[in-house]
């Protein structure tokens, strides 16, 4: 039996009616599929659709998560969304440090660590910490250093019992939205490195850490990626916007989870 987490990152796509419609299609497909309990499913719509999507998915196997959150508790932070707000609309998870946040919005490892701390202070939300190297970092043989720093700068600020609650999404930047996924061997190599490195903080609990792969996951390549020993799920962008493709990936994980 293997645990999986299949997560759909909708990014800045879907208006509220479209988000509710897509969520309803996914909910219906999941109800028909009846995945095993060890397959966790999450969709991450834009903030504005969280409450609506949660209404559609209440009392189903489909969890709702956010794509970002503030590192602050509350107060004068115009335009920000707090952990409490996310909890109040039924979120159970939140992406932190997605490469688009790191690259476009210049979020540093330190800033990302402060968000993870804030999320972990809530007992309800699971942080999905996104890490990954750029193409030039990979070409310059810096991949392991980059991943090590991205992990250390967050985990070194946490107590072990809290760090154990983190889900990591390994998303090589060169694979995101490019249609060029890491090969299963490349992904497995990175996941094995990450698990091994996390054991410095987690000890044997690193064996149970949920490590998702992200970057051009499709219904077609899901089987080869998800069958790798250190890959516990997927964070899916483009293919999660099509109910049929997303449901096929869930079905693949379900078959592999038995």
Residue positions annotated with a catalytic role: 98, 171
110 exposed, middle or buried (CB, 10 Å; 0-12, 13-18, 19+)? exposed
And the tokens for 1?
A: 């039996």
Task: Tell me whether residue 77 or residue 105 sits nearer to ligand PGA (CB atom).
Answer: 105
Give the one residue of 190, 214, 232, 233 binding ligand PGA; rule: CB under 6 A.
214
| Residue number, 68 or 201, with CB nearest to ligand PGA | 68
Residue 128 C-beta: closest distance to ligand PGA, Å: 10
Q: How far is the CB of 171 from ligand PGA (least distance, A)?
A: 6
Instruction: Return the residue of 163, 198, 206, 236 that touches ligand PGA, per CB under 6 A.
Output: 236
- Total chain residues near ligand PGA (CB under 6 A): 13
First to last CA, the chain: 5
Neighbouring C-beta atoms of residue 77, cutoff 10 Å: 12
Instruction: Single out the residue of 6, 176, 222, 243 in contact with ligand PGA (rule: CB under 6 A).
Output: 176
* Dihedral angle, C-alpha 244, 247, 249, 254, nearest 10 °: -150
Q: Is 177 in the site for ligand PGA (CB under 6 A)?
A: yes
* Pick 202 or 251: Cβ nearer ligand PGA: 251
Contact 225, 212 (CB under 8 A): no
From the list 42, 46, 172, 238, which residue makes contact with ligand PGA (rule: CB under 6 A)? 238
Piece in contact with ligand PGA (CB under 6 A), picked from 50-58, 63-71, 108-116, 234-242: 234-242
By beta-carbon proximity to ligand PGA, the closer residue of 81 and 130 is 130
Instruction: Using CB positions, name the residue nearest to ligand PGA.
Output: 237
Strands 39-44 and 62-66, sheet pairing: parallel
**E-assigned strands of the chain?**
4-9, 39-44, 62-66, 91-96, 126-131, 167-170, 211-214, 233-236
Site map (CB under 6 A) of ligand PGA, residues 9-38, x = contact: x-----------------------------
Using the rule CB under 6 A, is 257 a contact of ligand PGA? no
To the nearest whole angstrom, how small is the minimum distance from the Cβ of residue 57 to ligand PGA?
A: 20
Residue 56 makes CB contacts below 8 A (sequence gap 6+) with 20, 23, 24, 27
Whole-number Å distance between alpha carbons of 61 and 27: 8
Binding window for ligand PGA (CB under 6 A); candidates: 56-64, 72-80, 118-126, 208-216: 208-216
Residues 6 or more apart whose CB falls under 8 angstroms from that of 240 comprise 7, 8, 9, 10, 43, 246
List residues near ligand PGA by CB under 6 A: 9, 171, 176-177, 214-217, 235-239
């Amino acid at each position: 039996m293997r645990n999986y987490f299949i997560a759909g990152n909708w990014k800045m796509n879907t208006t509220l009616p479209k988000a509710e419609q897509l969520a309803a299609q996914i909910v219906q497909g999941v109800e028909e599929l009846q995945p095993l309990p060890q397959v966790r499913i999450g969709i991450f719509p834009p903030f504005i659709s969280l409450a609506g999507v949660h209404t559609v998915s209440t009392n189903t196997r489909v969890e709702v998560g956010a794509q970002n959150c503030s590192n602050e508790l509350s107060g004068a932070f115009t335009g920000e969304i707090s952990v409490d707000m996310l909890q109040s609309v039924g979120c159970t998870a939140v992406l932190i440090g997605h490469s688009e946040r790191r690259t476009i919005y210049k979020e540093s490892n330190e800033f990302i660590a402060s968000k993870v701390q804030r999320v972990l202070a809530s007992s309800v939300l699971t942080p999905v910490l996104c890490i990954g190297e750029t193409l030039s970092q990979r070409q310059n043989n810096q991949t392991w250093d980059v991943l090590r720093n991205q992990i250390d700068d967050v985990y070194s600020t946490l107590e072990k019992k809290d760090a154990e609650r983190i889900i990591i999404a390994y998303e090589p930047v060169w694979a995101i939205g490019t249609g060029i996924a890491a090969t299963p061997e490349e992904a497995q190599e990175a996941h094995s490195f990450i698990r091994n490195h996390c054991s410095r903080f987690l000890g044997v609990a690193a064996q149970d850490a949920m490590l998702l792969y992200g970057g051009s996951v499709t219904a077609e390549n899901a089987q080869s990626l998800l069958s790798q020993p250190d890959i516990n799920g997927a964070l899916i962008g483009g293919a999660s916007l099509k109910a049929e493709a997303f449901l096929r990936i869930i079905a693949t994980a379900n078959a592999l989870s038995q």
